[in-house]
Amino acid sequence: MQESNTAAPVEWKNLDSPPVVSSTAPYKRVILTMGGKGGVGKTSFMLALAEWFHIQEIPVSLLDLDTENKSRGSLKHYFDGRVAKVNIYTAAGLDAFVDHLAEGAPIILADMGASSGQVTHEWFDSMFEDVAATGVAFTAIGIVTPDPASVESILSWAARLQDRVNYVVVENAMTHQADFSYWRDSEQAKQFRAVFRPVVLAMEFRLPELENPSRQHGVTLGQIVERRLKVPELQRASLVIRAQSYRRRLFEEIDKAKGLLLP
């Protein structure tokens, strides 16, 4: 799908001079959420993805580009100190992708904000060709919920990003029996799937007694499972087991998309 997959990779050692094409250096990949609709679970999925990479022992750079989401619920809230907050509303905001790749991590996880569409699309229009030519591939993560606005959001992004990225779509069941009709049965979404063949993953409904305190205290499922917390409401044995099984199933889903997540 992506032209960059055929490009020779690049060594990022010295960016004062033009990147040097190398036949030995690995490819790099930027994984970004398709912002647009707020509150659909972008950050929750990115957290799980960060943990998945951690378990695989693959280093990632975490970028929080969600300037609207300042406190609880932002990526920085969960991984403070290990997340670079980036203001994309500057002339070269998304050049942070290039700079962080140059620092060495083979993968960037970028949590985009709800209103980051225009800036991101413009960056792709002006920079993609040259960045991709250095061996960087892009994967766009779209999160859909029963809300048709979440579907419209990823369709709008896809209409701008086209085949410059690979697509992973996560069906986030925000209720017990979620109805994804607008994603599964609408003409426009079907067309999107037919053209770009996204990998579709399921993210199951999380109990509020697990989801809410973990958001409140900024803890990941992994931390709950490992009982490293001093949060009483998250120490209940049943919740720990739930977190464990939830995480296991989500990781199994993420495995399905590994081809689009690894460099």
Minimum CB distance to another protein smaller for 70 or for 197 = 197
- State the nearest-atom distance from the C-beta of 102 to another protein, in Å: 26
Minimum CB distance to another protein smaller for 34 or for 234 = 34
- State the nearest-atom distance from the C-beta of 97 to another protein, in Å: 22
- State the nearest-atom distance from the C-beta of 240 to another protein, in Å: 39
- State the nearest-atom distance from the C-beta of 133 to another protein, in Å: 15
φ, ψ of residue 144 to 5 degrees: the values are -115, 145
Residues engaged in binding another protein (CB under 8 A)? 148, 151-152, 155-156, 158-159, 162-163, 181-182, 185-196
- State the nearest-atom distance from the C-beta of 185 to another protein, in Å: 5
Which residues partner with 20 through β-bridges? 11
The letter for the amino acid at 256 is K
Minimum CB distance to another protein smaller for 150 or for 214 = 150
Task: Report angle CA 256, 260, 261 to the nearest 5 degrees.
Answer: 90
φ, ψ of residue 240 to 5 degrees: the values are -65, -45
Minimum CB distance to another protein smaller for 163 or for 255 = 163
Distances (CA, A) of 20 to 6, 203, 263: 16, 40, 18
- State the nearest-atom distance from the C-beta of 17 to another protein, in Å: 15
Minimum CB distance to another protein smaller for 86 or for 151 = 151
Minimum CB distance to another protein smaller for 88 or for 189 = 189
Q: Which of 67, 2, 70 is nearest to 30 (CA)?
A: 2
Minimum CB distance to another protein smaller for 100 or for 164 = 164
187-196 and 148-161 helices, crossing angle to 10° = 40
Return all residues near 27 (Cβ < 8 A) that are at least 6 apart: 4, 5, 9, 106, 135, 136, 137, 263
Which burial class, exposed, middle or buried, applies to 55 when counting CB atoms under 10 A from its CB (0-12, 13-18, 19+)?
exposed
Which burial class, exposed, middle or buried, applies to 43 when counting CB atoms under 10 A from its CB (0-12, 13-18, 19+)?
buried
- State the nearest-atom distance from the C-beta of 237 to another protein, in Å: 42
Cα Dmax for the chain: 56
